[in-house]
Structure 1
Amino acid sequence: MSTVVHLSAPQRRGPDLRELVAQVAFGDQVAFGHLYDAAAGPVFGLVRRVLRDPAQSEEVTQEVMLEVWRNAARYQPERGEVMSWVLTIAHRRAVDRVRSAQAAGEREQKAAARSHVPPFDEVAEQVEGRLEREQVRRCLKGLTELQRESVSMAYYRGFSYREVADMLGVPLGTVKTRMRDGLIRLRDCLGVAW
């Protein structure tokens, strides 16, 4: 009978993150790949809890890992573990993204409020137009018959002064005088500054 001896495999420890960061600080891309593999998952998890949006979380994770690559030389071992340093960067970036999104939303709301055009009030416009027409009719009644006839022909029927003079059988100068006097009386009656 043979006895089988099971030897336990030696425990594999993860990579030494401090050593990897030190190598990354000197531009070692292979070391960065190992550091990325070790840190990207926890970074994504933290960022996802803050942002809740998977696409933005992936984007911020990439930004964090790029910042780790660029700032590896600034890591100070005496201030804490590598993973704490990386996750601090991740948390800061995620919070910045949330604040940026909130600020953008507020800016959009303010811009929308400034550009809001009140809807056209058709009823008020009709009432105002009717009141103006009634006032004009009232003021026209205050003119002499010749003034009212001249103004009506020129302004409401579109005839020229010459045509009005021909139709009424009076000299052009008379029509012009009637028109001028009639318009002055209308202006005064309507309270309009010309």
Structure 2
Amino acid sequence: MREPTDPGSGPEEWGPAPAVAAAPTAERLLAAVAKGDDGAFDRLYDLVAGPVLGVIRQILRDAAQSEEVAQEVLVEVWRTATKYREERGRAMTWVLTLAHRRAVDRVRSAQASSDRETRAYSRDTGRPFDEVAETVASRMEQQQVRRCMSTLTELQRESVVLTYYRGYSCREAAELLDAPVPTVKTRLRDGLIRLRDCLGVGS
């Protein structure tokens, strides 16, 4: 029998190739972070920072504020990792829920501050701001968007909400919807086209 070092030996005589270690999942990384593993947090940071910023940017629009809130969220992930329970859902969903909640809180805080300034201005000058027209226009726009969203199929609507409004990637949305990625991409494209036509965008 030939030795494994024999140049004529075939691959089958060399033994199986070493297995390539799979990258740790967000769930495993988050579990390690909960135990105080700094290295795991660095890897989790690299994994979730982009999606977190995407969700927050969709809500706040302002780049500087979005980056600031994203950092707050990632600090919160480090501090509260022990609260995550895998049986309740995916780690990425848990992190993005924190991001969405923190961004909404920032919007509400800014609105409350603006309202206080408006009331103070009204008391000082006796001239209240006329916000009626702006409020009516905003509500009409929201009603039109809701009406147009109702014309989409269920999968189109869910694909649009997850990717366009909540910042998930198509692959993440596909996992949440338990649907193939190409199907989600197609439904997203069709849904956005139908929304565009319904809202009269570009017409």
TM-score normalised by the chain length of structure 1: 0.53
CA 1:56–1:11 in 2, change beyond 3 Å: closer, same or farther?
A: farther
Residue in 2 that maps onto 1:84: 93
Q: Which amino acid aligns with 2:96?
A: L
Rounded to whole Å, the distance in 2 between the matches of 1:47 and 1:69 is 18
Q: Which has the higher contact order (CA 8 A, sep 6+)?
A: 2
Matched, 1:35 2:44: yes
Tell me, which stretches of 5 or more residues in structure 2 are unaligned? Answer: 1-18, 128-203
Rounded to whole Å, the distance in 1 between the matches of 2:56 and 2:20 is 30
CA 1:11–1:43 in 2, change beyond 3 Å: closer, same or farther?
A: farther
Of 64, 70, 82, 1:55 maps to: 64
Query: What are the equivalent positions in structure 2 for 1:52-131 lying under 5 Å apart?
Result: 52-116=61-125
Rounded to whole Å, the distance in 2 between the matches of 1:99 and 1:41 is 23
Give the SS at the match of 1:94: helix
Q: Which amino acid aligns with 2:61?
A: R
CA 1:41–1:12 in 2, change beyond 3 Å: closer, same or farther?
A: farther
Matched, 1:21 2:30: yes
CA 1:14–1:51 in 2, change beyond 3 Å: closer, same or farther?
A: farther
Residue in 2 that maps onto 1:137: none
Q: Which amino acid aligns with 1:63?
A: E
TM-score normalised by the chain length of structure 2: 0.51
Query: What are the equivalent positions in structure 2 for 1:161-172 lying under 5 Å apart?
Result: none
CA 1:34–1:104 in 2, change beyond 3 Å: closer, same or farther?
A: same
1:49 shift after superposition: 0.4
Question: How many equivalent residue pairs?
Answer: 109
Rounded to whole Å, the distance in 1 between the matches of 2:60 and 2:21 is 34
CA 1:115–1:52 in 2, change beyond 3 Å: closer, same or farther?
A: same
Q: Which amino acid aligns with 1:65?
A: L
